[in-house]
Amino acid sequence: MNKFLVVINAGSSSIKFAIYRLDSSSQLIVDANGQIDGIGNQPNFTVTNQQGVVLVDNMLPSNEAADHKATISIIYAWLLEYIAEGELLAVGHRVVHGGQHYAEPVLIDTKVLNDLEKLIPLAPLHQPHNLAAIRALQEIMPTLPQVACFDTAFHCTQSEVTKRFALPRHFFDEGIRRYGFHGLSYEYITSVLPTLDPTLERARIIVAHLGNGASLCAIHKGRSVATTMGFSPLDGLVMGTRCGTIDPAVLLYLMDHHGMDARALEHLLYYESGLLGVSGISNDMRALVASDDPYAKEAIELFVYRIGREIGSLVAALGGLDALIFTGGIGEHSNEIRANICQQSMWLGIKLNKQANENSSKLISTPHSTISTWVIRTDENLVIAKHLLNIYTKETELKN
């Protein structure tokens, strides 16, 4: 009988999932990927198997996937039919926030769920959707083991001084501190370092995860030392629609002189800023690279400039640099942006191999480069699936 594990990534308007099959030696094999997007609006259900065959491509009536609960029910019913005689062993979830205490993936029970709900104020735009999917699945299938894997967990190794804002101490104790995000992506990249070059395992590395959300992480000996996102995924770099680092006095000004309250500021900073805000054209890097509009060029220039500045800051935190790794949609696919970033960081001794960069080869620096530079496709789902399998196996051994 085939055995399956499923990874779920529940966002505000979409639920994505990846199905893994265990082969006879309990290795994880990707079987299919799917999603329902447009939840509550114009839901669309798509699934593609590993061979690229489209298994499902259906517009759903809007009342059918009206919320996360209904959407999970649709996905679960389809899954049961899809795996037929097979067995669904467990489900793993990407959960944005594990707070101060969840430094490892965890099997979800009532206490864990209650703890994670208390973190909603720290990640109000993400955590409620992650948890809604968990709760919905618990209602449908209370005995199905579910595991939470956190985007913050990888950064728990950072020192207290790295995490602290210069605010009165009691705010830190309340949880107002730097957490960092994209941790599952950084964990994946760290896990493949030995396959790239064995010396990287103990090296000083900056990983640039450049997607719609974007951050940099300084990693030494496989551990997060510092990262550009902080209390929230707003901080740090210029992103698709998020502003990145901003002088807090700008927010005070906007409150005083534009009458903006917390919700209006939240919308401005999360959804109207970044590449979209500066270009006035798009949050999609492909559209900006293709555009002749001077504002598109300015948006790209700012994106690259901020990355260059933050690379400098992380090099200082690391006390040097041995390797730079690009990942995420932009990092993996845009040779132009990579070239611009490397140009900006040439002072570090980066020498780009032009041809390798244009081909998006794995190693894109020349042999004379002081800093080896790489392009690695990230795989957050695989990280979750591996944790899920470990926890599931341990739990089953304990029961037997």
**Nearer to ligand ADP among residue 151 and residue 310 (C-beta):** 151
- CB of 268 vs ligand ADP, minimal distance in Å: 20
- CB of 284 vs ligand ADP, minimal distance in Å: 4
- CB of 9 vs ligand ADP, minimal distance in Å: 9
Show Cβ contacts of residue 129 under 8 Å, excluding neighbours closer than 6 positions.
10, 11, 12, 68
- CB of 239 vs ligand ADP, minimal distance in Å: 8
Catalytic positions, written as ranges: 151
- Provide the binding-site residues for ligand ADP, judged by CB under 6 A: 211-213, 240, 284-286, 289, 328-330, 333-334
Is the distance from CB of 162 to CB of 178 less than 8 angstroms?
Answer: yes
**Nearer to ligand ADP among residue 145 and residue 274 (C-beta):** 274
**Nearer to ligand ADP among residue 16 and residue 155 (C-beta):** 16
**Nearer to ligand ADP among residue 43 and residue 274 (C-beta):** 274
**Nearer to ligand ADP among residue 64 and residue 358 (C-beta):** 358
Which residue's CB comes closest to ligand ADP? Answer: 329
Question: Helices 127-140 and 68-83 sit at what angle, rounded to 10 degrees?
Answer: 50
DSSP codes of every residue in 111-168: HHHHHHHHTGGGSTTTHHHHHHHHHHHHHH-TTS-EEEEESSGGGGGS-HHHH--SS-
Query: Hey, what's the torsion of the CAs at 242, 247, 248, 249, to 10 degrees?
Result: -130
- CB of 276 vs ligand ADP, minimal distance in Å: 10
CA angle 266, 270, 276 (to 5 degrees): 135
**From residue 76, how far is each of 27, 72, 139, 149, 170 by CA, in Å?**
23, 6, 12, 20, 44
